[in-house]
A and B are shown apart, each in its own frame.
Chain A
Amino acid sequence: MSFFKKKAGVTVIVVAVIAALLTVITHFTGENPVSNAVRAVFAPFRSGIAAVSGAVSERINFIREAGAYKEQNEQLVNEIIELKKQNKETAVYREENERLNALLELKNSIQGYSTVAASVIGYSSNHWYDSIEINKGTLAGINTGNTVIAADGIVGIVTDAGPNWAVVNTVINPESATGIAVARTGDIGVIEGDAELCYDSLCKLTFVDKGANIIVGDILVTSGTGGIYPPGLNVGTIRDISADNMGTINYASVEPMVDFKNLHEVLVINGVQ
């Protein structure tokens, strides 16, 4: 026992001397040389282990969190679907808003006429666009003979009306005829629906003066004659001209300004203010 105690005593003395020496060195130099050396030796090992363990723990975390990632992925997919739906709805609302704004501008631009806004709810059964049905009728003040216009131009004339519905014969209907003027030259004429052209959503320009100067692309507007439509509303553009050898115009096919395929809201002119 005394042997161990002697050894322990020597050890304590040696350690105390080393520690005291290091304390003194640290006090005067501000640095512990042993500590610095140990840190320098272990630094590369610690860096290497940190890099390896970092990579390993990243993999392990990935595996551990795979379930959560899957769930999160499903949530995000659902969120994307919901956002797409919302986006689509927003686009529809924006488009509707633009259309209604255009209609409102049109309504404001027609001074002196009373108007009723209505929505298109149906198309003709024999041909898609030669007549349409709207959701307002006699209860809203709409009657047979009222003219119907849209933001792009004229649509047609109300031919039948119920309490909450009305049928409108469009300008391409073979039974319709409207007085027009060529916007560029002021030449007047009549556009009529045509049984053949109707299928291409076109109508024809007739009763044009012999010396009239019309070219493909000319824009036609309502002349206001006959008191059916207010003057100056867009009707269509000349698409094709048919003339005889002498240059006399037989007729010209006209493409209506209104796109009947995408017609949603219309304005019915039901009287004069």
Chain B
Amino acid sequence: MKKIKLIIWIAVLVLLESMGYARIFGAVPALTFAFLVCVALNDDDFYTAAVTGGICGMLAGSLLGRSFSFIFIFYTISAAAVYTFRKKPRYTHAIFKAVFWCGLLTAVMELALFALETGSISLFALYSIALPSVLYNIAAALVIYPLIMRTVYNEEKQRKLIT
């Protein structure tokens, strides 16, 4: 059931992202990226997180017109990395971790893409490309996180509490 919900979420987010329905001031945040970060932080299964990252990367790379290979690898590795470090630091609410990971990884992704395209990294790339993307994706994560908690992981957490 959880996997079906995740697939539905991915499909909806990919459509929203690729069709530009989630515009903020004319730019579309990487909804699938924010989603995979939230999933990797909350899921207990490594492969679910990694495969979610891989699927999101594959779809985003295919439909959003960016470097397929880079997006595919980056999304999957990001999911694996976030999953690996999801419990650090301890006693910190996962939404803060989602904001942190989303911001950090988005900045790395945008700068890396800029470097791949232009062969250099500049302050322009940092302020004009990476920073807005970071803010957009953090905003997306703040919206997506509570939604997937309610729709996907709520039952799982309740079951854990009972057992």
- Interface residue ranges, A against B (CB under 8 Å): 1, 4-5, 7-8, 11-12, 15-16, 18-20, 22-23, 26, 32, 34-35, 38-39, 42, 45-46, 49-50, 53
Contact = CB atoms under 8 A, between A and B. Distances in A.
A257 to B, nearest CB: 76
B46 A53 contact: no
Given A15-B73, A32-B68, A38-B58, A50 B19 contact: yes
* Interface SS majority for chain A: helix
B133 interface: no
Interface in B6-30: 11, 14-15, 18-19, 21
Contacts of A20: 69
A4 B15 contact: no
Interface of B: 11, 14-15, 18-19, 21, 46-47, 50, 54, 58-59, 61-63, 68-69, 72-73, 76-77, 80-81, 83-84
A69 B61 CA distance: 43
Given A8-B84, A18-B72, A32 B15 contact: no
* Interface SS majority for chain B: helix
Contacts of B73: 15-16, 19
Given A18-B72, A46-B19, 11 more contacts: A8-B83, A35-B61, A38-B58, A38-B59, A38-B62, A42-B14, A42-B15, A46-B15, A49-B19, A53-B19, A53-B21
9 contacts: A4-B83, A8-B84, A12-B80, A15-B73, A15-B76, A18-B72, A22-B69, A34-B62, A35-B68
B63 A38 contact: yes
B93 to A, nearest CB: 22
A1 B84 CA distance: 8
A34 B59 CA distance: 9
